[in-house]
Amino acid sequence: MLVELRIRNFAIIEGAALYFGPGFNVLSGETGAGKTIIMTALGLLLGSRASPDMIRSGQSEAVVEGLFELEGETPLPEGAREVAATDQRELLIRRTIAADGGRSRAYLNGEMATVQTLARLGQGLVQVYGQHEHQTLLRSESHLQLLDRHAALDAALDEYGAAYRAAAQARARADELRERERTRAEQLELARFRIAELERAGLQPGEDQQLAAERTVLANAARLGAAAAEAEQMLSGESSAALDTVARAQARVGEAAAIDPKLKETLELIASARLGLEEAAHTLRDYAARVEADPARLDEIETRLAELARLKRKYGGTLQDVLETAARSRTEIAELERVADSRAEAEAALRAALDRLARMGAELSARRQSAAAELKRRMETELKTLGMRAPVFEARFAPLEKSEGAFEHNRMMLGPGGADAIEFMLSPNLGQPPMALVRIASGGELSRVMLALKRLEAQRRGVATMIFDEVDAGVGGAIAQVVGRKLKELARFHQVLCVTHLPQVAAFADSHFQVEKEERRGATRSRVSALDEAERIEEIARMLGGAEVTDKFRRAARELIERARA
């Protein structure tokens, strides 16, 4: 349960410390005093998003802290196991919001945590019933979610969802192959044309680069031959040839090396250079004799390069792209030639996926029908305790309507959540047939229906703390007292925190907190006070009479409190 809540520099709250007890805790105050701000601050501890707008004007940081106590042998909720020791029975959650960039930090028992961890943790610690939440009952699509939560179908819905996605993929594959089969002849003709064209071309990897290099040589044959011949003459010609000069140098150094052996290494270098020059001269002589202009070959190369350029423009930017196009076309032809078999296989896989989905949808429906019968019994019992004398509550089932994305199989429509459309029906009065909530229920009746649903959900989940933020919408008079008594009964099994404007509800409180707004030194502040007995009477009298509190309203307040204790 929530033991302590501390708030600092949050909205108009400068500083507040609330110590909650294990029973029925009530927060009251005039409209705009800051009750909703306290609920918002508590929401931060349960994983709500933070905003720099939440920081009190002129301050650099807002801080919210909550101390939760795990009672008895209750296992640690999901999320707390990551940071808390197994023998630890307290959880301290802290959120900070910095004005600089609106950065938010979360801490769990002093260790940094993610907001997602807080959200998972909050689901096991607290159940929140927010303002106007009963209005969701006016949307029939929410009824299926409420029934599924009551039936604890989370795991089954996850499995069904996976099967639904698999069926959707199988349908997409089958549709694709049907379309390919429909256009098979045209696609085959196109692919075969590409293959024929590319096979006639006889392409070789790197061919364009090799031909380009050969074209450059042929285009410059005269210059290359002249350069080779001239260089060969320089090396081995009749006058001033390099080889003759090197031969003379070799002879002179040979004579010197005979006298001084230290020159033998130099002699070997000259001999090696002479051999290299002789080989270069022979190579140049052969090259000059061989290289010659060949206009026919050059024209042939130009024609081939033009053809390669055309194919590259048509099928890709490089010759490698063109070759890959040919490979893909061969694969495509193979696939198209067996597309009928592939389509048949895909349709068989789709039927199998839909058979499985239909079985799972039928199982979901059966479990929902069973849960709906139990929910009917328990809800009617709860609603009687909330002032409905002879209520009839039921979940009416209907086949899912045809819609985009749904599957029709074995005379069933199968959507992402199963095969069922569900709407809650209510007869609040004896002799009245059950009708859709949107058609029959008043605001007060909706509040009581949602209160009953929340009670059953908290009971099933074993949540320690229940928070009701202004559940008195549309409720008044004797029914308000019934709601207050029901919340008091809930507080026997759960810690209950309730924000209320109803004195009939506040009269049942075990602990009563008053939220007030005050102006000091040109600033507005919200202040929270725990009330003693006399202060409770004064506050409930204010709730009864408004701004003017008289002895008459004080006597009425005492009577409400005494009646609540009876």
From 56, 25, 29, select the one nearest 41 (Cα to Cα): 56
Give 498: exposed, middle or buried? Use CB within 10 Å, 0-12, 13-18, 19+. buried
Number of H helices, E strands in the chain: 18, 17
Tokens 């709730």 correspond to 543
CA 85 to chain centre: 30
Instruction: Find residue 497's DSSP bridge partners.
Output: 25, 467
Region of residue 254 (left: phi > 0; alpha: psi -120 to 50; beta: else): alpha
pLDDT at 86: 46
Helix (H, G, I), strand (E, B) or coil at 395: strand
Whether residue 134 contacts residue 473, with contact meaning beta carbons closer than 8 Å, is answered with yes
C-alpha span between 551 and 541 (Å, rounded): 9
Neighbours of 231 (CB within 10 A): 18
Which H or E run contains 537?
helix 533-545
Q: Which amino acid would we find at residue 467?
A: I
Sheet containing 2-10: order of strands: 13-19, 2-10, 61-69, 90-98, 104-108, 111-113
CA 49 to chain centre: 15
C-alpha span between 75 and 40 (Å, rounded): 27
Domain 1-131+444-531 fold: Rossmann fold (3.40.50)
Helix (H, G, I), strand (E, B) or coil at 25: strand
Q: Do β-strands 511-520 and 523-530 pair in parallel, antiparallel, or remain unpaired?
A: antiparallel
Copy the structure tokens of residue 363.
Answer: 């199982």
pLDDT at 165: 95
- Work out the angle at residue 173's Cα, subtended by the Cα atoms of residues 169 and 178, and round it to the nearest 5 degrees: 145
| pLDDT tens digits in sequence order for the chain, 566 residues long | 899 999 999 988 889 999 999 899 999 888 777 888 888 899 899 888 888 888 888 888 999 999 998 765 445 555 555 544 445 678 899 999 998 766 889 999 989 998 888 888 887 788 887 766 666 777 888 899 889 988 989 899 999 999 999 999 999 999 988 887 777 777 878 888 988 888 888 888 988 888 888 788 888 888 888 888 888 888 887 766 888 888 888 888 888 888 888 899 998 998 999 899 889 889 888 888 877 777 888 888 888 888 888 888 888 888 888 888 888 888 888 877 777 788 888 999 999 999 999 999 999 999 999 999 999 999 999 888 877 888 999 999 999 888 878 999 988 899 999 999 999 999 887 878 888 887 775 666 777 888 888 878 777 766 788 888 876 666 667 778 888 888 888 888 888 999 988 899 999 999 999 998 887 777 778 888 999 999 999 999 998 887 678 889 999 999 999 988 87
Tell me the residue ranges of DSSP E strands in 70-216.
90-98, 104-108, 111-113, 126-129
pLDDT at 447: 75
Copy the structure tokens of residue 400.
Answer: 């899912």
C-alpha span between 510 and 488 (Å, rounded): 9
- In which residue ranges of the chain is CATH 3.40.50.300 found? 1-131+444-531
From 526, 512, 529, select the one nearest 15 (Cα to Cα): 526
Q: Is the pTM of this model over 0.85?
A: no
Whether residue 170 contacts residue 282, with contact meaning beta carbons closer than 8 Å, is answered with no
C-alpha span between 264 and 256 (Å, rounded): 9
pLDDT at 228: 82
Q: What DSSP designation does 52 have?
A: G
